[in-house]
Amino acid sequence: MTSGARPLRFPLVLVVLHWAGAMLVMAQLGLGLRIASAAETPALATLGWHAAIGQAILLTTLVRVGIRLSRPMPPQHRGWRGFYARAEYVSLYALMIATPLAGIAAWTRVTKGAPLPLFGLGEVAPPDLSRFDVHANLALALGLLVGAHIFAVLCNFLLDGPPAVRRMLPGREVNLAGD
């Protein structure tokens, strides 16, 4: 690949972070639903796992954004499909940053003032935003957008075939013209 040329696939580090992030988000959505449907405040250990996974999502997302901004990415579709893809990426990244930050703020309300552990490296006392249920609403929006992303991937597969989807899988170079 010459300098300035756009690669045909995403860098391996982004592929790994994408799939790790996808697993974290799916686990987090399931755990969040469990917490939201609990009759009483869940155990601190459950909330701790939820907080740790949220922090991991925040960290992997920030790394992904940094990588995406620092190097060329594979070409996207033109027209309405390209517009949708860009809007979806921006929205997903924004929600994967905003939702954990809102969760950190919600920690005080849910735990009745307990400090938030940061991967065992220390603790912080987040602000009390108990009047706002921003975290739950952002998580709902993220869940809906994840569903829309999966639908878009299936549409790309049906319209463009396997090479379009292989760009986000580890492996050999992709021939976008077909197999």
Question: Using 50, 70 and 90 to split pLDDT, how confident is the model at 139?
Answer: very high
Q: What 8-state DSSP symbol labels residue 27?
A: H
Joined together, the tokens standing for residue 81 give 């499909």
The better pLDDT of the pair 71, 125 is held by 71
Residue 116 phi, psi (nearest 5): -90, 120
- Structure confidence at residue 127 (pLDDT): 63
Instruction: Tell whether the model's pLDDT for residue 157 goes beyond 50.
Output: yes
Weakest mean pLDDT among 47-56, 107-116, 147-156: 107-116
Please write the tens of the pLDDT for every residue from 48-102.
Answer: 899 899 999 999 999 999 998 888 777 677 888 888 888 998 999 999 999 999 8
Weakest mean pLDDT among 87-96, 133-142, 148-157, 161-170: 161-170
Question: Using 50, 70 and 90 to split pLDDT, how confident is the model at 143?
Answer: very high
Contact 53, 24 (CB under 8 A): yes
Q: Where are the domains of the chain?
A: 12-166
- Structure confidence at residue 18 (pLDDT): 92
Total number of residues shown for the chain: 179
**Which pTM value belongs to this model?**
0.79
Please write the tens of the pLDDT for every residue from 8-48.
Answer: 677 888 889 999 999 999 999 999 888 888 777 777 778 88
Measured distance CA(73)–CA(106) in Å, rounded? 35
Instruction: Tell whether the model's pLDDT for residue 149 goes beyond 80.
Output: yes
**Residues 115-126, mean pLDDT to the nearest whole number:** 75
Instruction: From 102, 98, 105, select the one nearest 128 (Cα to Cα).
Output: 105
- Structure confidence at residue 172 (pLDDT): 57
Instruction: Tell whether the model's pLDDT for residue 145 goes beyond 90.
Output: yes
Measured distance CA(66)–CA(166) in Å, rounded? 22
